[in-house]
Amino acid sequence: MRARRAYIPPMKRLIVGIAVVAALSGPAGAQEAAPEANGGAGKSLMERGAEMFLDGLRQEIGPALGELRDKADEAAPALREFMQQMGPALVGILARIEDLSAYAPPEMLPNGDIIIRRKTPLVPETAPQGETDI
């Protein structure tokens, strides 16, 4: 039986990747202590290789991170305004929905309407007026 893998949106994967690269690109205190651990012989071949790899990665990703930062700076005011206007409405919708896992993915109808169906329909608490069990 195969385990079901969780879906991770592409943007979240990108953010995690950027965070890992940013964490690895900073100075590391452990690298400073390595010569003493090796008896003062300098960095090992693995350490130098890893350092060269990270330097190359930093050089390749640096321009893309700069562009991403610029795009984020451009989008920030629009996102802030969107959240100020739509935030209260979204909070109200989420309060009514309660549990998102009870709903199927949204569907777009041919006329452009978007519907979100419950996975299991609600059972009416009482019978509609005019109907009786005999």
Q: What is the model's pTM?
A: 0.30
Whole-angstrom Cα distance, residue 94 to residue 91?
Answer: 5
Domain presence at residue 131: no
Quick one: tokens of 91?
A: 């909070």
Per-residue pLDDT of 73-117, as tens digits, reads 888 888 888 888 888 888 888 777 777 788 889 999 999 999 988
Q: How many CA atoms lie within 13 A of 77 on its CB side?
A: 2
123 assigned to some structural domain? no
Whether 128 is in a domain gets the answer: no
The answer to whether residue 18 is domain-embedded is yes
| pLDDT surpassing 60 at residue 31 | no
Domain annotation covers residue 89: yes
10 Å CB burial of residue 43 (0-12, 13-18, 19+) is middle
In a domain, 98, yes or no: yes
Instruction: Give the number of domains in the chain.
Output: 1
* Helical residues (DSSP H) of 26-44, grouped into ranges: 29-37
Tokens of 131: 């109907």
118 three-class SS = strand
